Structure 1
Amino acid sequence: MKKIDLRKKQIESLKEFADENQKKIEDKKLLDKFMSTNLWKNSQSIGITSSLPIEVDTSELIARLWDEGKDVYLARANNDPNHTQDFLEYTYMTKLKKSKFGVDEVANPDAKINNELDLIVVPGLAFALDSHARLGFGGGYYDRFLKKYPTKTIALANSRMVFEHAQWPVENFDVPIQTIITPTKIYK
């Protein structure tokens, strides 16, 4: 299946799932599994996105990271033709604004940037358990970023995002995710 077709299918499936109680249950399981790993415990600077309703909810995760004294950096897509992104310092005092993608980003253009992170929680629409391939939203922001700034990566994947094998073409510029957490298991 072409990436564009699977993206459309996944977005519809995830929109449906967003309204189900099962999603809330799985989001909680994913958060608990994440907090049980050494990945976050051994990381001080953590990059993350403010989630859309169709994604695994990251708001509680961000709050827990702050409670644990971690430095949290929120992804910001840059307005450039190369589809680059940066991670900006995010505290509970930070003002946010909606990006062109509808995602909350740090509003202060002069906020501290840190692209040399210990860990990045990478969003996506689909994850292949065998290859750790990821199907993103189609901009290539994370693949470009991870090529330039390689670091530890982790994804939180609910049951609608999990595929045994990639149902989409995996290309040489696609960066696999190192660790995928599902509601039932952690794949390394």
Structure 2
Amino acid sequence: MDKVSFRKQQIDTVNSFMKTDQAQKEINEIYFQLFDNADFKAAKSVGITLSIENEIPTFPIINKCWEDGKSVYIPKTFSDYSMNFVKYERDTELETSSFGVREPKEYKKEILDPPELIIVPGVAFSREGNNRLGFGAGYYDRYLAQYPTKTIALAVSRQFFIKTPWPVFTLDKPVDQIISVAEDE
């Protein structure tokens, strides 16, 4: 199956699953695993997106970072498919990107490229090669090619595969770790 078709199918599958009680149980377990992860604990700066509907909510992670004294950075994307990570605080003024993601409005100060750890979003992940299927624009693949750093992906069971069912290309960047309750299936 090609990436575009698989991505569309995956988004529909995940959107339906995220409305279930099982999804909430899995998300709570994923938070527990992340907060106990050695790389997460050690990182002083964390890059993360502001979640949108039908994604694992990132605000509990952001709040945990702040509680632990970590600096939080969120991506600011540009029309040339590049991005920077900009410091995020409770009073950061936000705007909505063309993809519907909230981003910092002011992005010329307090940039950190790269944060020590990036929690990388995606629609599907596989144990085989720690492959990641993103949302299709290639922002993270380009960013991680330019700014290698530690990466963790969070995946509910419907996002996690043992073998990679989508085509993987040279420019696709794998993640270092995938945290999922489905890892032992």
Give the letter aligned to residue 129 of structure 2.
Answer: S
Q: Which residue of 2 aligns with 1:139?
A: 137
Q: Which residue of 1 aligns with 2:106?
A: 108
What is the alpha-carbon distance in structure 1 between the residues aligned to residue 19 and residue 148 of structure 2? 35
Residues 94-124 of structure 1 show CA distances to partners (whole Å, capped at 9, x for unaligned) of 1222111111111223342111211000000
Identity %: 39
Q: Which residue of 2 aligns with 1:44?
A: 44
Q: Which residue of 1 aligns with 2:75?
A: 75
Shift of 1:14: 1.2
TM-score normalised by the chain length of structure 1 = 0.94
Does the alignment pair 1:164 with 2:162?
A: yes
Determine helix, strand or coil for the equivalent of 2:178: strand
Change (3 A) 1:7 1:185: closer
What is the alpha-carbon distance in structure 1 between the residues aligned to residue 89 and residue 54 of structure 2? 24
Contact 2:160 2:182 in 1 (8 A): no
The match for 2:178 among 166, 177, 180 is: 180
What is the alpha-carbon distance in structure 2 between the residues aligned to residue 56 and residue 176 of structure 1? 19
Shift of 1:162: 0.4
Determine helix, strand or coil for the equivalent of 2:130: coil
Deviates more, 1:41-50 or 1:19-28: 19-28
Give the length in aligned residue pairs. Answer: 184
Q: Which residue of 2 aligns with 1:53?
A: 53
Give the letter aligned to residue 14 of structure 1.
Answer: V
What's the Cα RMSD here? 1.3
Q: Which residue of 2 aligns with 1:3?
A: 3
Q: Which residue of 2 aligns with 1:99?
A: 97
Q: Which residue of 2 aligns with 1:31?
A: 31
Determine helix, strand or coil for the equivalent of 2:16: helix
TM-score normalised by the chain length of structure 2 = 0.95
Q: Which runs of 5 or more structure 2 residues have no equivalent in the other structure?
A: none
What is the alpha-carbon distance in structure 2 between the residues aligned to residue 111 and residue 29 of structure 1? 35
Change (3 A) 1:184 1:7: closer
Does the alignment pair 1:122 with 2:120?
A: yes
What is the alpha-carbon distance in structure 2 between the residues aligned to residue 152 and residue 166 of structure 1? 21
